[in-house]
Amino acid sequence: MAWTVREIPDQSGRVVVVTGGNGGLGLETARMLAAAGAEVVIAARNAQKAEGALATIRGSVPEAKVSVLPLDLSSLASVRGFTERWLGERGTLDVLVNNAGVMAIPRTLSADGYEMQFATNHLGHFALTLGLMPALQARPGARVVTVSSAVHWGGSVHFDDLDGATSYNEWARYAQSKLCNLLFTAELDRRLRAARADVKSLAAHPGYAATDLQHVAGRQTGLTVTSLTMKVGNALVAQSAANGALPTVRAATDPAAESGQFWGPRVLGWFGAPVLAARASAAKDEALARKVWEVSEARTGLSLAVARG
């Protein structure tokens, strides 16, 4: 039987943080979880869009418990401020959905001097997860769900030129960041299990879903043909953002979902109900995952602190 929104268990009493919940997949993820009874906190950089997201969610789920906190994942200072505020004011967290991202943008450096796609899509979520780990460990059965992409199949990690100073292709760098999402998920799972911690690390991808991300990528690269192709693809081929969010929601809520799993659409990895997804051989490379983890520690100045179970 296909897994649909009807299979989402009651989420009453659970608190969820969704990064980038102000639009697209993140908005649909937040809406579904709020409709199931969760208290959802949207962590977003754009305050105006985030307030619009609140109105959208409350329009379809009047009883929704939903709020916004500012977070710029491309800034390690912003991530640190968010985690410190959360630990000081809230203390506990049931689910962290690492959803936000940028796609195929011209080479730009973050406030910390790192290539923007690597900084936002991977490093920011790495720092956010490690910073919130005490809150996650304070809740039995807590989960971290990191959103990757089927594009990771074409990814490789350019350790000798992580920031694209020598060579930069916007799609190759996007694929690198999405591969890093899966390597992070797997290494986090291994470290949590080694510590016997009661926190799960899972990943998901939306397949081909119609969101604003493709339009933004086309506009920012300045490639009219690329933008037009994405627009036509969204209209004729892509599934809805709501369907694209289902793998993430299943990873976040299905009682049978296990740590280390990767969820995606059933049909060709592009469409349909969420099922366990295949991943590229590079995403299963434990030595590569450890190296990405070590680089991430060096760049963020953070290491995983886990209370042993």
Q: What is the DSSP string of 251-275?
A: HHH-TT--TT-EEEEEETTTEEEEE
Say whether domain 12-207+246-298 belongs to CATH 3.40.800.20: no
In this prediction, residue 271 carries a pLDDT of 83
Amino acid 229: pLDDT: 40
Place of tokens 């963020």: 300
Judging by DSSP bridges, how do beta strands 142-147 and 95-98 pair with one another? Answer: parallel
> How confident is the model at residue 210, as a pLDDT?
63
Give me the average pLDDT of each 10-residue run along the chain (309 residues): 91 98 95 98 92 94 96 98 98 98 97 98 98 98 97 97 97 98 98 97 90 49 46 54 95 98 88 94 98 98 90
Residue 238 is predicted with a pLDDT of 64
* Active-site entry in 114, 168, 174, 208: 174
**Domain ranges within the chain, ordered by starting residue:** 12-207+246-298
> How far is residue 28's CA from residue 21's CA, in Å, rounded to a whole number?
8
Q: Which two tokens stand for residue 10?
A: 């009651």
Position 252, amino acid: A
Q: Give the dihedral sign, CA 125/147/150/290.
A: positive
Give catalytic status of residue 174 as yes or no: yes
pTM: 0.92
